[in-house]
Amino acid sequence: MSTSELPRRTVLGASATAALLASAEPAHASSGTQRFEHDPARVLRNPLSGWVLYGTGKPADDFWSHYDDLGVFEYAQTLYFRIGWHLLNPAEGVYGWDVDPTLRWMLDNARQRGLKLAFRVVVDSRDKSESFTPAWVREAGVQGYETQTGSATVWSPYPDDPRFQELYARFVEAFAARFDDEEQVDFVDGYGLGKWGEGHSVRYLDETSRRAVFDWIVDLYLRHFRQVPLALNYHRMIGTSKDWGDPDPLSAELLESAFEKGYVLRHDAFGMTDYYGQWEKDLAARWRYRRPILFEGGWVTKSHDFSVDPRGYETVADVRYGEFEDAQEAHVDALDLRVGETDSWFTEVPELRDAFVARGGYRLLPSEVRVPDRLRHGRSAELRHTWTNAGWGFCPNDLPLWNFRYRAAFALLDQEGRVAQVFVDPGTDPSQWRSDRPVEYRFTVCATVRSGNYRWAAAVVDTTRQNRPGLRLAARGEFSDDGWLLLGRVDVR
């Protein structure tokens, strides 16, 4: 994609975006070495990376057919629900994933399209047309308060009420029993309090409960979600009763305590210049290459007056450019396709959609591999391999939950393409592969397979899953059905 194809919006700094696209073009390999080019068009479906489509507990009848027609599922890999507790737990001991036909329809269609799931459970009912905490919780004696949304009277619980914490903990335990499955779920927001579940405007029985409630809910989710990563909105008013203002002095300390425990970062106001400001940018920069960052745009273009943004947005496309530039600066791993906002990425700014495919998240590949074409059975041989991350994002191999499970590896494939032997290089760590900074390794192997002709192959394997390929590679090349990147031939004697 040439830079001339990008519309210039100087108010948004389009030249920076154009430069990004230019850098996504593959370089030509020089002769005499076995090298692999980055494939900027290859859509990768890796954990905590890529496009996240937003679902809903009350979808339109054409939710799936519309996105099918738009081609969304060529890109999206995760279906994310910001969903009320009342839909997931309508009666005590009863769960929506078992009894709600609409929710089951959403989950079934996601599975059919190969989408993983993600969730934020919202308990606060303010600005909602119905109570987001189930009625049975109020009837069980939880203390709360009523507010008005138009003509609707809704009720929300106080999160420092011990009875609330008891009942919510039971729900989280059941929720995790069903969804703490990394094969099904990409991430879960492990907080969900306050307006819209974003962590601000939290009302308490006792304002001094802020830290205790924060630690309680963070630890609650950590205790029950042992496979699926947890995320937290890095809001400057996290856990306070305020909507907005100068950053609260305690916010960074609370947020970073959760990140230290293994939470990943997300923010819900990318592209909103007044709400994603210097404090947010500085915090994200401190955690760059330590935890991944997940993106959510802030402007709802069908209902917000986005022209008030200091960047001078005039069109929906302008908003998308602003979001993209914030995403690039923050080095985000995932970008959102929200309800009401998705179409514009495909119809108005497909160049940005493709730019994120080319450079967003982490995009790992072996840029150079040197393997012998002859091996002696039982004798050692040296492999040299160089790996690069062609994306701006971060592969969180050092996330406590993952515990360095991903490693570079090589395999000998037999004549039928079956794996005969795998060599895992224990010195490799994809979390150290930063954007366009290749890392070279030397690795000694010893073949123990029977004599014959084989083919070398490379992958980033999951060492907790019998050393099978665990992360999809961004290389231009030929892949086996199970994800090995095919290299040269080798004769074993």
Interval 179-232: pLDDT, tens: 999 999 999 999 999 999 999 999 999 999 999 999 999 999 999 999 999 999
Tokens 């990147």 appear where?
485
What is d(CA 46, CA 18) in angstroms, rounded to the nearest whole number? 26
53 beta partners: 79, 337
Q: Does residue 1 belong to any structural domain of this protein?
A: no
Residues 6+ positions from 488 with CB-CB distance below 8 Å: 34, 371, 373, 455, 456
Is the predicted pLDDT of residue 147 greater than 50, yes or no? yes
| DSSP notation for 74-119 | GTEEEEEEEEEHHHH-SBTTB-HHHH-HHHHHHHHHHHHTT-EEEE
Judgement on whether residues 245 and 384 belong to the same structural domain of the protein: no
Q: How confident is the model at residue 33 (pLDDT cuts 50, 70, 90)?
A: low
CB burial class (10 A; 0-12, 13-18, 19+) of residue 163?
middle
**What are all long-range contacts of 242-250, with beta carbons under 8 Å and residues at least 24 apart?**
242/200, 242/201, 243/195, 243/200, 243/201, 244/200, 244/275, 247/279, 250/210, 250/211
pLDDT above 70 coverage of the chain, percent: 93
Q: Under a CB-based contact definition with an 8 Å cutoff, are residues 166 and 142 in contact?
A: no
Look at residue 138 in the predicted model and tell me its pLDDT. Answer: 98
Is 2 part of a structural domain of the chain?
A: no
Secondary structure class of 35 (helix, strand, coil): strand
Task: Check: CB of residue 422 under 8 Å from CB of residue 411.
Answer: yes
What distance in Å separates the CA atoms of residue 16 and residue 474, rounded to the nearest whole number?
23
pLDDT in tens, 41-55: 999 999 999 999 999
Rg of the Cα atoms in the chain = 24
Query: What is the band of 11 on the pLDDT scale with cuts at 50, 70, 90?
Result: very low
Looking at 359, 392, 410, the residue that finishes a domain is 359
Final residue in a domain of this structure, among 359, 394, 419: 359
Q: Find the helix or strand (DSSP H, E) in which 399 lies.
A: none
Question: Which of these three, 340, 359, 378, is where a domain ends?
Answer: 359
Cα gap 484→324, rounded to integer Å:
32
Residues 114 and 81 in one domain: yes
Tell me how far the alpha carbon of residue 220 is from its chain's centroid.
21
Contacts of residue 332, Cβ cutoff 8 Å, sequence gap at least 6: 270, 292, 293, 294, 295, 360, 361, 393
In degrees, rounded to 5, the angle at the alpha carbon of residue 486 between the alpha carbons of residues 484 and 488 is 145
CATH number of the structural domain spanning residue 402:
2.60.40.10
Task: Tell me the sheet residues that pair with 294.
Answer: 266, 334
pLDDT at 458 over 70: yes
Distance, in Å, from the CA atom of 419 to the CA atom of 455, rounded to the nearest integer, reads 10
Do residue 344 and residue 393 come from a single domain? Answer: no
Element (H, E) at 356: helix 350-359
Query: What pLDDT, on a 0 to 100 scale, did the predictor assign at position 7?
Result: 36
**Residue 4 lies inside a defined structural domain of this protein:** no
**If 0-12 CB within 10 Å is exposed, 13-18 middle and 19+ buried, where does residue 101 land?**
exposed
Residues 249, 124, single domain; the answer is yes
For the chain, the domain total comes to 2
Residues 65 and 167 in one domain: yes
Residues 62 and 165 placed together within one structural domain of the fold: yes
What 3-state DSSP class applies to 299?
Answer: coil
- Residues 301 and 375 reside in one and the same domain: no
pTM: 0.93
The CB density around residue 456, as the number of other CB atoms within 10 Å, is: 23
pLDDT digits (tens, 9 = 90+) for 325-383: 999 999 999 999 999 999 999 999 999 999 999 999 999 999 999 999 999 999 999 99
d(CA 421, CA 59): 48
Q: Going by C-beta distance under 8 Å and a sequence separation of 6 or more, which residues neighbour residue 10? A: none
State in Å, rounded, how far the first CA of the chain is from the last one. Answer: 47
Number of C-beta neighbours around residue 166 at 10 A:
12
Task: Evaluate whether residue 230 is within a structural domain.
Answer: yes
Same domain, 379 and 343: no
Beta-bridge partner residues of 485:
458, 479
DSSP assignments along 241-268, one per residue: S-SSSSPPTTHHHHHHHHHHHTPEEEEE
**Judging by beta carbons within 10 Å of its beta carbon (0-12, 13-18, 19+), is residue 121 exposed, middle or buried?**
buried
For residue 296, being part of any structural domain is answered with: yes
Shared domain check, 290 and 426: no
Q: Are residues 346 and 321 in the same domain?
A: yes
Residue 286 belongs to a domain with what CATH number? 3.20.20.80
Q: Three-class SS of residue 17?
A: helix
How far apart CA 285 and CA 290 sit, in angstroms, is 10
Q: What does the pLDDT look like over 234-273, one tens digit per residue?
A: 999 999 999 999 999 999 999 999 999 999 999 999 999 9
Question: pLDDT digit string (tens) for 272-305?
Answer: 999 999 999 999 999 999 999 999 999 999 999 9
Whether the per-residue pLDDT at 32 is higher than 70: the answer is no
Q: Is residue 278 part of a domain?
A: yes
Residue 254 · residue 202 · CB < 8 Å: no
* DSSP reduced 3-state for 39: coil
Q: What is the pLDDT of residue 436?
A: 80
Q: Whole domain around residue 452: which residue ranges?
A: 364-492
CB 192 within 8 A of CB 201: no
**Residue 54: inside a domain:** yes
User: Is residue 6 pLDDT above 50, yes or no?
Assistant: no
The answer to whether residues 353 and 439 belong to one domain is: no
Note whether residue 41 is domain-resident.
yes
404 with 287, same domain: the answer is no
Task: State how far Cα 166 lies from the chain centre.
Answer: 30
